[in-house]
Amino acid sequence: MSCVTTQDRAVSINPTRSCAPIGAMLANYGIHGAITINHGSQGCATYPRHQMARHFREPVEVATTSLTEKTTVYGGKGNLLEALKNIWERFHPTMIMVCSTCLSETIGDDIPGTIDEFTDNHPEITIPIISVKTPSYIGNHTTGFDNFLKEIASNLPDKRKKKGETNGKINIIPGWVNPGDIRELKHIVREMGLHGLWLTDYSETLDGGYYEPRPHFARGGTTIEDLRSSSKSLATIAIQRYIGGEAAHIYERRYNVPAHVLTMPIGLANTDAFVDTLTEITDHQVPEALNVERARLLDAMVDTHMFTSGLRVALFGDPDLLEGLVGLVAEMGMTPAYVLTSSESKPWAERMVELTEELGVESEIIIKGDLHELHKRIKAKPVDLLIGHSKGKFIADDEKIPLLRMGFPVEDRFGYHRRSIVGYNGAISLVDEITNLLFERKASLVVSNTIVELGVEGPTSAPITFMNGKH
Ligand code: SF4
């Protein structure tokens, strides 16, 4: 039976979480011409910028109100008013998003009130200026992203919607994914003959080309006009429950746009659920091209099952990513032995227990956990594969197990932001990558479907030497 455990140490060792403003900044990058003002000290802008630049390999520009000792004592309102004016005069953005920080929240700066004062004094500035609460002591980077989406859903869509009026599109909230994932989702929607309205779309802004002259704003991103019309969409699909799920329900409650909140479409069943939802919303049938991709994924799983069946896997990361990944791991015949997140969400943990039991696998679900906690468990009872972001490399090196890099940040490999893990194509890539990592780890000689071990010692917990598919 699966179980839930919580880390009871007060101190974190090798935490897996980032700070909340980074989530809001990332989501804001998906709006064409939008600029972020980080209301806090300079470091609160620099840290997320560096994290994002290392992962996406793009310059990340964020403004800061540069709070100092004096503004910390007397309040940062003056700095914020000046920052809003400067940003408008220098860049003429399509939208400004002001996110708070630990500092500005703790001193109690009234960001919405300051924005109101600014817009009252500058009636000529008609772009949307929104504020997002992102103190890092409430939640983590995923909370920042989710709070941003809730603000967008509450404030941007056009409320003047006539009965039956529609833009013919489907709102799709990808959540915290990579640019390559958004492109793969777009491919599926396009193949279905549908039009997505992406909330939000950083597939190009954070994975752009080299253009001369450099455009004033990065190419791509959802336009403000599209965001305005999102209240007229046919439905909203959130592919992550904890990032965007609540925003989808806001669309349903406020604008009568039906909400569909799904598990991240990683693996066969989860991708089927996404495709089925698209067919439910419209009367479009699944095209042959997607059926072929699905069949290719099944074939890849059949071809590799003798190498992956029975292996134990440890996973760590954000709740939505883990929920999707566990499905694929089980479909490949592996056991997600440890599933660790820094999130404290008990409902998520309970859901994961149900899910793993439905999938017929036994897992320890660890909430509020850090990497030290995961390492302890792996030392006590080893696994064959570790899945998580780059910080897992220290465990992987120590225990001599392969690490499948996934999630955020991946900073010690190049181009991972471009690959996709969603959809049938994303799952095929994952099946290939997982199998190849297992081959490499065993330093094996692979002949046809036979692995011959070359005697490399490792903490294997399950047999991996197979002869023609048999132990
Ligand atoms: S003080 Fe808070 S908002 Fe600023 S960088 Fe640290 S965790 Fe992030």
Residues 6+ apart with CB under 8 A from 187: 423, 425
User: Which pLDDT belongs to residue 10?
Assistant: 83
DSSP state of 462: S
DSSP state of 390: G
- In this structure, the answer to whether residues 134 and 181 fall within a common structural domain is no
Instruction: Please name the residue that has the structure tokens 């899945």.
Output: 387
Q: Determine if ligand 1 sits within 6 Å of the CB of residue 62.
A: no
User: Which pLDDT belongs to residue 446?
Assistant: 59
Instruction: Please name the residue that has the structure tokens 């690959």.
Output: 419
> Which two structure tokens, joined as six digits, stand for 181?
């994932």
- Give pLDDT < 70 ranges for the chain: 442-471
- In this structure, the answer to whether residues 140 and 270 fall within a common structural domain is no
CA–CA dist 464, 450 (Å, integer): 10
Our CA angle for 110, 73, 35, nearest 5°, is: 45
Task: Name beta bridge partners: 5.
Answer: 366
User: Which pLDDT belongs to residue 445?
Assistant: 53
Kindly report the protein residue whose alpha carbon is nearest to atom 1 of ligand 1. Answer: 102
Ligand 1 pocket test: pick from 22, 47, 52 the residue with the most ligand atoms within 8 Å of its Cβ.
47
Give the Å distance between the CA of 132 and the centre of ligand 1: 15
CA dihedral in degrees (346, 348, 352, 355; nearest 10)?
130
User: Which pLDDT belongs to residue 24?
Assistant: 98
**Structural domains of the chain, count:** 3
Give the Å distance between the CA of 402 and the centre of ligand 1: 32
Phi, psi values for residue 90, rounded to 5°: -85, -30
Kindly report the protein residue whose alpha carbon is nearest to atom 6 of ligand 1. Answer: 44
Kindly report the protein residue whose alpha carbon is nearest to atom 3 of ligand 1. Answer: 101
- In this structure, the answer to whether residues 186 and 295 fall within a common structural domain is no
Kindly report the protein residue whose alpha carbon is nearest to atom 4 of ligand 1. Answer: 44
- In this structure, the answer to whether residues 261 and 349 fall within a common structural domain is no
Give the Å distance between the CA of 386 and the centre of ligand 1: 28
CB of 431 closer than 8 Å to CB of 301? yes
CB of 232 closer than 8 Å to CB of 166? yes
Q: Determine if ligand 1 sits within 6 Å of the CB of residue 101.
A: yes
Q: Determine if ligand 1 sits within 6 Å of the CB of residue 21.
A: yes
Give the Å distance between the CA of 242 and the centre of ligand 1: 21
Q: 348: closest CA among 249, 436, 240?
A: 240
Indicate whether 101 belongs to any domain: yes
User: Which pLDDT belongs to residue 447?
Assistant: 54
Task: Give kind and range of the element (H or E) at residue 380.
Answer: helix 371-380
- In this structure, the answer to whether residues 126 and 254 fall within a common structural domain is no
CA–CA dist 153, 245 (Å, integer): 11
Please report the atom of ligand 1 found closest to the CA of residue 134.
3
CA–CA dist 366, 6 (Å, integer): 6
Give the Å distance between the CA of 103 and the centre of ligand 1: 8
Give the Å distance between the CA of 414 and the centre of ligand 1: 27
- In this structure, the answer to whether residues 89 and 188 fall within a common structural domain is no
- In this structure, the answer to whether residues 298 and 446 fall within a common structural domain is yes
Task: Name beta bridge partners: 225.
Answer: none
- In this structure, the answer to whether residues 275 and 389 fall within a common structural domain is no
- In this structure, the answer to whether residues 302 and 439 fall within a common structural domain is yes
> Which two structure tokens, joined as six digits, stand for 126?
């008609």
User: Which pLDDT belongs to residue 458?
Assistant: 42
User: Which pLDDT belongs to residue 449?
Assistant: 56
> Which two structure tokens, joined as six digits, stand for 213?
């002259």
Burial class of residue 418 in the structure, from the number of CB atoms within 10 Å of its CB (0-12 exposed, 13-18 middle, 19+ buried): middle
Instruction: Please name the residue that has the structure tokens 């909340």.
Output: 20
Give the Å distance between the CA of 52 and the centre of ligand 1: 15
- In this structure, the answer to whether residues 206 and 119 fall within a common structural domain is no
| CA atoms 87, 91, 92, 96: torsion sign | negative
Our CA angle for 271, 142, 28, nearest 5°, is: 90
User: Which pLDDT belongs to residue 459?
Assistant: 42
User: Which pLDDT belongs to residue 440?
Assistant: 86
Residues 6+ apart with CB under 8 A from 183: 203, 420
- In this structure, the answer to whether residues 295 and 443 fall within a common structural domain is yes
- In this structure, the answer to whether residues 120 and 236 fall within a common structural domain is no
Q: Determine if ligand 1 sits within 6 Å of the CB of residue 112.
A: no
User: Which pLDDT belongs to residue 454?
Assistant: 54
Indicate whether 415 belongs to any domain: yes
Select from 265, 285, 305 the last residue of a domain. 285
CA–CA dist 298, 331 (Å, integer): 10
Select from 243, 258, 285 the last residue of a domain. 285
The domain in which residue 351 lies consists of 3-12+289-452
Q: Is residue 471 classed as helix, strand or coil in its secondary structure?
A: coil
Domain containing 425 — which CATH number? 3.40.50.1980
Give the Å distance between the CA of 48 and the centre of ligand 1: 9
In this structure, how many other beta carbons lie within 10 angstroms of the beta carbon of residue 168?
11
User: Which pLDDT belongs to residue 283?
Assistant: 87
CA–CA dist 361, 394 (Å, integer): 27
DSSP state of 31: B
- The pTM for the full model equals 0.93
Q: Determine if ligand 1 sits within 6 Å of the CB of residue 15.
A: no
CB of 278 closer than 8 Å to CB of 284? yes
